[in-house]
Structure 1
Amino acid sequence: MKYLAFATGLLTATAVVAETPVLTVYTYDSFVSDWGPGPLVEKAFEAQCGCDLKLVGAGDGAALLARIKLEGARSDADIVLGLDTNLIAAARETGLFTDHTVTASYTLPVEWTDPQFVPYDWGYFAFVKDADLESPNNFMALADSDLKIVIQDPRSSTPGLGLLMWVKLAYGDEAKSVWEGLADNVVTVTKGWSEAYGLFLEGEADMVLSYTTSPAYHLIAEEDASKAAAAFDEGHYMQIEVAGKLAASDQPDLADQFLSFMVSDEFQSIIPTTNWMYPAVTPTEGLPKGFETLITPENSLLVPADKAGIVRDAALAEWLDALSK
């Protein structure tokens, strides 16, 4: 009888586990790292969804879209989290994403009405350096300097792609000559952000492509004020990161629930001190102390999502040609 009771209990427990729905979210590697938002987001969402939230790191932001294109409707993903406005049009063209039902009081620098992609954070690209390093205040001056920089590959990384858009929008037809000047400043081109930032911290370069908010990490998490973002007088290119639901998801209701959770105060309050970006919806308690020390670009640059593909293709061709010489 004891064996029968044990076996019955085991079968019941197994059935409960089997019935737990799984929501799979593809995202970038730093999001799922121990120090990223992933662990806190997973814990908070699972506490309310009665599900298993499976966060899958799939390289850097631009690599996510490539993977989804490859997997197509057969993908295990229900949601892709980590695209940005430079990739929205290309993502929409795949036909793999469907409309969302999210409404939110966004505090983005631009109006947001996209029917398929939900923003969760934003920031400005910048070169991060030691605070006491005298750095140039534009790309031309950087090209004329002996400073060594680490950047990311625009074909796999959203920061790398953002840099291309930044230079192209700031310099137009002169962008290729700017890249030709910068070629000997580039120590290496990494696949993603984490590798590049790690090389900078190891002293392999004077500056690294990152965000104006990156010094907040060192200041708040490490109590280290030794890092700063270089202010460029051309302005700084903006990134708005988004998530979208796949049309082939086998958990559409759960995916909708996650997207709504993503713009909630609970999720948004996690972003500033884990993803080190500005939240898409300012939390009730505001931004953490230390964010007020960050530089604020005088000029914000952003290519509209529906035109980003054209600009991206031209900028990428110029970049590849310049760095191959």
Structure 2
Amino acid sequence: MKVFTSVLTLISLSLLSLSARAADPLTVYTYDSFIAEWGAGPKIKAEFEKQCDCQLEFVSLDDGAALLNRLRIEGETTQADIVLGMDTNLMKEAERSGIVAEHAVNTERLQVPGGWDNNYFIPYDYGYFAFVYDTTRLLDPPKSLKALIEERDDISVIYQDPRVSTVGQGLMLWIQKVYGDDNQQAWRELADNTITVTKGWTEAYNMFLNKEADMVLSYTTSPAYHRVADEDDRFAAAMFEEGHYMQIEVVAKSAYTDQPERADAFLQFMLSDAAQSVLPTTQWMYPVTDVNLPDAFYTLDKPEKSLLYQPDEVMGNRQQWVRDWQTALVE
């Protein structure tokens, strides 16, 4: 009888333990615009929770680069099960830091420009950086990055801090691609036209909408938002003859998660039609699988030339390029 009672006790304790684990939320570290009321987060949360019978919890930071810094600081004490919002430019640093784990996701449906081959990260959307402007206010936009930086003293701009923002980092890499060793001179000339450098995209874009600058660093797809959400076709992305730097946003499983199977399920979900169909009209980026796009996307200009560094190259040079930016601004 005592043995039987002991077995029942063990079973009860096991069930309670499983129940407790099932009740633990799956915690996703991401950036603030993703979980905004108008962002992808609320819809992603609702759809995933239907499928997993679990709770998804978001923790927001300013931007993708801040995610890497936060996870490095927290290490094994982190609450993150998932990190969503870094991009290919930060992948190798994250892998080398040991903060992400290999995934077990089927990636056959992926349709990313240039293909995809990585065991840690899954892409979920992509786009091209661009300076966005109001066509009723700026009648003669620059036609190249060099023209904006070197010739157009009459244009004011806002961009994001490359130390903490993946968008700001995108500009840094864009300038590096175009200017190479002359990057500091380019930053000094751009500084003459810069109203401010913000921590993240949301702050910068809101300032632009409040007419605090002529142009803001964003994406070629940003005008689609205004056409769909606001029925407003005033906004456009300036297309530059040197090409546009491409961003591929990625999601990964934390190396410290105690829910690895559920974390993999979330990564797999991000490639499902339910998730991918949400992204064009919330993230205002291109999906990475073959889902229907809003009509407004087909009216957008797409860069004739895309620019992209390999992750290893970014990892080996990013800190120096950041220092070049800082040095140029204080000289």
Same fold (TM over 0.5): yes
Q: CA deviation at 1:274?
A: 0.4
3-state SS, counterpart of residue 170 of structure 1: helix
Q: CA deviation at 1:315?
A: 2.1
Give the RMSD, CA atoms, in angstroms: 1.4
Q: 1:141 aligns with which of 140, 147, 161?
A: 147
Q: For each residue in 1:165-223, what CA deviation from the matched residue of structure 2 results, as whole angstroms up to 9, or x when unmatched?
A: 00101121122221121111110000000000000000000000000000000001110
Aligned to 2:13: none
Rounded to whole Å, the distance in 1 between the matches of 2:287 and 2:124 is: 6
Q: CA deviation at 1:73?
A: 1.0
Q: For each residue in 1:35-76, what CA deviation from the matched residue of structure 2 results, as whole angstroms up to 9, or x when unmatched?
A: 000110000000010100001112211101110011001100
Aligned to 2:25: 22
Aligned to 2:102: 99
Q: CA deviation at 1:110?
A: 1.3
Aligned to 1:228: 236
Q: CA deviation at 1:18?
A: 8.2
Q: CA deviation at 1:140?
A: 2.2
Q: CA deviation at 1:20?
A: 2.1
3-state SS, counterpart of residue 281 of structure 2: coil
Q: For each residue in 1:139-172, what CA deviation from the matched residue of structure 2 results, as whole angstroms up to 9, or x when unmatched?
A: 2211221200000001110000010000101121
Aligned to 2:200: 192
Q: CA deviation at 1:107?
A: 1.5
Aligned to 1:300: 306
**TM-score under structure 1 length normalisation:** 0.92
Q: 2:289 aligns with which of 281, 290, 295?
A: 281
Structure 1, unpaired ranges of 5+:
1-14
Distance 1:249 1:16, change over 3 A: closer
- Whether 1:113 and 2:117 are equivalent positions in the alignment is yes
For the 8 Å contact 2:243–2:307, the answer to whether it is kept is: yes
Aligned residue type for 1:119: P
3-state SS, counterpart of residue 174 of structure 1: helix
**TM-score under structure 2 length normalisation:** 0.91
Q: CA deviation at 1:297?
A: 0.6
Aligned to 1:314: 320
- Whether 1:84 and 2:87 are equivalent positions in the alignment is yes
Q: CA deviation at 1:323?
A: 1.4
Aligned to 2:297: 291
Rounded to whole Å, the distance in 2 between the matches of 1:16 and 1:114 is: 34
For the 8 Å contact 1:164–1:312, the answer to whether it is kept is: no
Rounded to whole Å, the distance in 2 between the matches of 1:164 and 1:247 is: 29
- Whether 1:48 and 2:54 are equivalent positions in the alignment is no
Q: CA deviation at 1:21?
A: 3.3
Q: CA deviation at 1:322?
A: 1.4
For the 8 Å contact 2:22–2:54, the answer to whether it is kept is: no
- Whether 1:324 and 2:330 are equivalent positions in the alignment is yes
Aligned to 1:4: none
Q: Percent identity?
A: 51
Q: For each residue in 1:263-299, what CA deviation from the matched residue of structure 2 results, as whole angstroms up to 9, or x when unmatched?
A: 011100000000100011121xx21110011111111
Aligned to 2:8: none
- Whether 1:68 and 2:71 are equivalent positions in the alignment is yes
3-state SS, counterpart of residue 266 of structure 1: helix
Aligned to 1:57: 60
Aligned residue type for 2:148: L
For the 8 Å contact 1:165–1:311, the answer to whether it is kept is: no
For the 8 Å contact 2:164–2:200, the answer to whether it is kept is: yes
Instruction: State which drifts further: 23-32 or 91-100.
Output: 91-100
Rounded to whole Å, the distance in 1 between the matches of 2:56 and 2:236 is: 35
Structure 2, unpaired ranges of 5+:
1-17
Q: For each residue in 1:14-49, what CA deviation from the matched residue of structure 2 results, as whole angstroms up to 9, or x when unmatched?
A: x97885231000000000000000110000000010
Rounded to whole Å, the distance in 1 between the matches of 2:290 and 2:113 is: 12
Q: For each residue in 1:71-94, what CA deviation from the matched residue of structure 2 results, as whole angstroms up to 9, or x when unmatched?
A: 001100000000001100111111
Aligned to 2:222: 214
Instruction: State which drifts further: 313-322 or 80-89.
Output: 313-322
Aligned pairs, number: 309
Rounded to whole Å, the distance in 2 between the matches of 1:18 and 1:257 is: 16
- Whether 1:166 and 2:174 are equivalent positions in the alignment is yes
Rounded to whole Å, the distance in 1 between the matches of 2:176 and 2:320 is: 9
